[in-house]
């Protein structure tokens, strides 16, 4: 017996929509926010490398100052919590070693046992073909966090809006990201919808399942 029934899951996914109007008077409670942060942390990533950092902005002045850099989309300021999903612009052998050391520590195993795992990661992400677009690779990982975050939020009755409509250089500058070795991948404001956001009641526009999913039996 699943913890949540199939019908309940589909209901929650239909309830979710890209929120255009957040109610600025409704903050997300601390316990709920903590759950959402844990969902971000538990997101899987390629090799488990977690090439990201999530900036959580609740400061109203800072949120307001970012609206213009998001093509005047008010969600950035009216949400309760603005998550700026940033990713590493470069991966080095030190990053791989950090994961190897941490894995050995957490799992209580000898670092030497992870030598081939280290070798594969370095040959792929640091020096291999994917090293030429480390940022692009890292951004793919950030979108997994985005999906995880939105789905968990929907299960909790919390609204979100995935956002690519912003100027990454402006966000990078405002948050001093270049210096820290990060760049902005995607935004996700979270909070509670305004009662009169008309987008909430629009029918979902999705191509038929038979077209999008093909079974090869």
Ligand X SMILES: Cc1cc2nc3c(=O)[nH]c(=O)nc-3n(C[C@H](O)[C@H](O)[C@H](O)COP(=O)(O)O)c2cc1C
* Side-by-side strand order, sheet with 182-191: 52-57, 81-88, 182-191, 159-160
Which position among 24, 27, 162, 168 is part of the footprint of ligand X (CB under 6 A)? 162
- The answer to whether 40 contacts ligand X (rule: CB under 6 A) is no
Which position among 123, 129, 165, 169 is part of the footprint of ligand X (CB under 6 A)? 165
Which position among 50, 73, 80, 183 is part of the footprint of ligand X (CB under 6 A)? 73
Decide if 168 contacts 142 (C-beta within 8 A). no
- The answer to whether 164 contacts ligand X (rule: CB under 6 A) is yes
CB of 144: closest distance to ligand X in angstroms? 12
- The answer to whether 25 contacts ligand X (rule: CB under 6 A) is no
- The answer to whether 11 contacts ligand X (rule: CB under 6 A) is no
Residue whose CB is less far from ligand X, 107 or 204? 204
Residue facing ligand X at closest CB distance = 165
Considering only residues 109-148, where is the footprint of ligand X by CB under 6 A?
none
Which position among 17, 33, 54, 117 is part of the footprint of ligand X (CB under 6 A)? 17
- The answer to whether 168 contacts ligand X (rule: CB under 6 A) is no
Nearest Cα to Cα of residue 23 among 66, 75, 65: 75
- Candidates 2-10, 54-62, 101-109, 160-168 — which segment interacts with ligand X by CB under 6 A? 160-168
Number of residues that bind ligand X (CB under 6 A): 11
For binding to ligand X (CB under 6 A), which residues are involved? 17-18, 20, 73, 161-165, 186, 204
């Amino acid at each position: 017996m699943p913890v949540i029934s199939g019908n309940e899951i589909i209901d929650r996914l239909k309830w979710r929509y890209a929120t255009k109007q957040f109610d600025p008077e409704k903050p997300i409670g601390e316990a709920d926010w903590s759950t959402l942060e844990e969902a971000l942390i538990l997101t899987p990533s390629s090799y488990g490398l977690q090439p990201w950092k999530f900036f959580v902005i609740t400061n109203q002045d800072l949120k307001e100052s970012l609206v213009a850099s998001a093509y005047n989309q008010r969600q950035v300021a009216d949400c309760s919590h603005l998550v700026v999903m940033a990713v590493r612009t470069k991966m080095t052998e030190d990053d791989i070693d950090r994961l190897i050391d941490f894995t050995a520590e957490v799992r209580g195993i000898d670092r030497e046992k992870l030598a081939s795992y280290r070798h594969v990661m370095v040959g792929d992400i640091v020096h291999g073909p994917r090293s030429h677009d480390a940022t692009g690779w890292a951004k793919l990982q950030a979108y997994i966090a985005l999906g995880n975050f939105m789905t968990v939020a929907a299960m909790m009755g919390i609204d979100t809006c995935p956002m690519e409509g912003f100027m990454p250089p402006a966000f990078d500058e405002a948050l001093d990201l270049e210096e820290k070795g990060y760049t902005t991948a995607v935004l996700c404001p979270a909070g509670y919808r305004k009662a009169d956001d008309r987008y909430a009641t629009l029918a979902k526009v999705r191509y038929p399942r038979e077209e999008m999913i093909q079974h090869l039996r």
